[in-house]
Every structure is written in structure tokens, then in C-alpha cells.
Amino acid sequence: MNPLHSIKLINKTALFLLMIVLSSSLAFYGIIINWPQDNPYDEVRIEIPKGATLSEIIRILDERRILSNKKAFLVAVKLLGYETDIPAGIFILKRAKTNYRIIDQLVNGSPILRKVTILEGWTVKRIAKLLAERVDVNEDRFLQLCNDPQLARQLGVPAPSMEGFLFPETYYFYEGETPESIIATMVATYRKTVQDEVRARAAEIGFTELELITLASIIEGEAIYDSERATISAVYHNRLKLGMKLQADPTIQYIISDSPRRLLNKDLKIDSPYNTYLYYGLPPGPINNPGKGSILAALYPENNDYLYFVARGDGYHTFSRTQRDHNRAKKKFQRVRQKLRRELKRKEQG
């Protein structure tokens, strides 16, 4: 036989065998990728916890009866190269009755997100309650982490507690997202607002970052309207400079168990470092989580010589320079309050 002919025959045979191998491989690939799973649901909710391994994900799917062949699913995931690409979150799988449809919806589908709006001036307790309602966060665990000094250090919080550093904003969290992840996200949002220039300005006026946020939280507790924030800030700055007690009602609201309510004289005598009627200077830490407006007001107080203010009954305040003027303003407010009570009583009787 002609040697050249033999070589051609060998090449054709090798090519034929290669085509068979490739065809078999493609067929195996197609069969495994589209392997049917006896998922009994047309629509099913699946939760993939943060940090779950592929074997843990397979176990979750198997427990929910979505998989009837775990090995085929494992091979399919590896063939597609998605061993580490299945994200955490809660998913709705729709008509996912093959390996491909299950994998595609887990990798490329969108986890369920919940809109959560944290308002300025909310405490960590109020935030925890809302998160428990909206994204099924364990309320006690969230509060425990918010008071964990080690976690605070890890996140760069200049205090042993997260109070003051969970920035008010509208967030979108996965349903069932971990408390650790939510806290980290909120602190990171805080960091976007309180950057080096803010800390530099705080130092310029003689404040640490913690002192700045503490004062901002008191301003947040007092102010309803933005137009008054810098004026209220000035009152507290003036009192601090003169060595006067701050006598800030929001600090008392923070330490009573049934807040918010009208304060009583006995409340002002509670022995707590947060009681600014008893102790001089700022309290040990923030009393709520202030927004950007109050932080800026704490940094840039209005230039005035007010030392007192009292509510007017319409959300605004009357500011005074002397105790005498302040007492007049308080009496005026008391008359407004008495008038409102009489009107309310008449309505109840009528």
C-alpha cells in the first residue's frame, strides 16, 4: 500500500473518531444541561443564604424537592462554570423543571428586594423593628450586633455602638439578608457623607467625630424644619462654650422606656450620663441616627447669641437670649397648650 495513502487513511480515521468523541461530548453536555428535574412546583420561593457553598445550595434545593437528581445538577453547574456564581438572596423559580432553567434563574434571575426607608432621627431600636417587619431580620440579633464594640471597630465606627452611624436613607435589601450585611451597608452609606473634610471641620471647631454626631443627633431630635437646624445648633454651641448644661429634652426621651411622651419633672432627675439636665457637656454618644442636614448644622452653627428656645406649638421654636425672655416664651406656649386641651375636650364632649 502506498505510504501516503496509508497516512491519509489514518488521518481520516482519526478525524472520524474525533468527530464521534466531540459529538458524544456535545450530546452528553446537552443531556446533562437539560436534564429534567421532578420539581413539582410551577412557582417556588427559594432562599440562598449568604456564603452558602454549592453543596449547601444543592442540599436546600433537594430539601424543597426541586431536585430529583443531585449528581446531574452538580455536573451541570460545573459544566456551565457557575460553581461560585450563584448569589445569595430569595428567588422565585418559575417553571424550573430542568437543570438549565433552575441554574439560569438562580444565576441570572433577580433576588427579591424590599424597599426600606430609614428616617432621620430614628434610633437603632426603631430601625431594628422596621427591618424585622420588612426583610425578616432577627430583631434581637440586629440590636445585639448594634451594641457589639468589636463589630463597631471592624466597621471603623468611632464608638462602641452603632447608634448615630446607621445613616438615614432609602435602601433596597434582600428579603432575609443578614443583620451583619445590613449594618455594614448602612455604615458604608454614613461614610459617604462623613468624609475627611467633615472630620477636618469638626476638628477645627474642637469636636471629635463622635462628639459631632452626638450633637447632630440632639439637633435632629429637636428640629422639625430645616430652617431652624443651624439656629438650634448655635444654642447648644453657645451653651457648651459658656459651660452651661445643655438641658436637651431629646436626651431625656432617649432614656425613658415609654418615649415619646410629654416629659415630667421626675424624668429630669433620672441619673444617667445621657441626662443633660443633670450632667454638663455632651452625652456619651448619639441618641439617634441623624441625617445630613443635622450633621451640617452641627458643623456650621448660625452666628447668634441665643441660649434658650422653646416650642411654639406649630413645629417652630421661640429663641431667647435671656432667662427672662425664655420664661415669657414658655408661658406663652403653656397658654397655647391649654387652649388646645380645651378645644380637644370640647370636641370629645360634643
- What's the confidence (pLDDT) of residue 13? 56
pLDDT of residue 125 exceeding 90? yes
The SS3 assignment for 172 reads strand
Lowest mean pLDDT: which of 6-15, 83-92, 103-112?
Answer: 6-15
Work out the pLDDT band at 6, boundaries 50, 70, 90: low
Lowest mean pLDDT: which of 10-14, 50-54, 171-175?
Answer: 10-14
Q: In this prediction, what percent of the chain has a pLDDT beyond 70?
A: 91
Alpha-carbon gap, residue 233 to 294, rounded angstroms = 8
- What's the confidence (pLDDT) of residue 288? 98
- What's the confidence (pLDDT) of residue 27? 53
Whether residue 93 contacts residue 43, with contact meaning beta carbons closer than 8 Å, is answered with yes
- What's the confidence (pLDDT) of residue 221? 97
Mean pLDDT, the chain, integer: 90
- What's the confidence (pLDDT) of residue 60? 94
**How far is residue 85 from each of residues 51, 72, 113, measured CA to CA in Å?**
11, 18, 19
- What's the confidence (pLDDT) of residue 97? 92
Work out the pLDDT band at 223, boundaries 50, 70, 90: very high
Mean pLDDT of 153-167: 97
Q: What is the CATH number of domain 29-108?
A: 3.30.1490.480
Work out the pLDDT band at 7, boundaries 50, 70, 90: low
- What's the confidence (pLDDT) of residue 23? 47
309 burial via Cβ count (<10 Å: 0-12, 13-18, 19+): buried
Fold of 307-350: Double Stranded RNA Binding Domain (3.30.160)
Task: Give 216 or 31, the one with higher predicted confidence.
Answer: 216
pLDDT of residue 249 exceeding 50? yes
Per-residue pLDDT reduced to its tens digit, 31-47: 888 889 999 999 998 88
- What's the confidence (pLDDT) of residue 112? 80
Lowest mean pLDDT: which of 71-75, 110-114, 121-125, 202-206?
Answer: 110-114
Are 29-108 and 307-350 the same fold in CATH? no
Grid cell 370629645 in the structure block, residue: 348
Task: Give 329 or 50, the one with higher predicted confidence.
Answer: 329
Domain map (residue ranges) of the chain: 29-108, 113-193, 196-306, 307-350
Work out the pLDDT band at 90, boundaries 50, 70, 90: confident
- What's the confidence (pLDDT) of residue 2? 52
- What's the confidence (pLDDT) of residue 345? 73
Grid cell 441625617 in the structure block, residue: 291
pLDDT of residue 320 exceeding 90? yes
Mean pLDDT of 213-226: 97
For 132-139, the CB contacts below 8 A with 24+ separation are 134/173, 135/173, 135/174, 135/175, 135/176, 135/177, 135/182, 136/175, 136/176, 137/177, 137/179, 137/182, 138/179
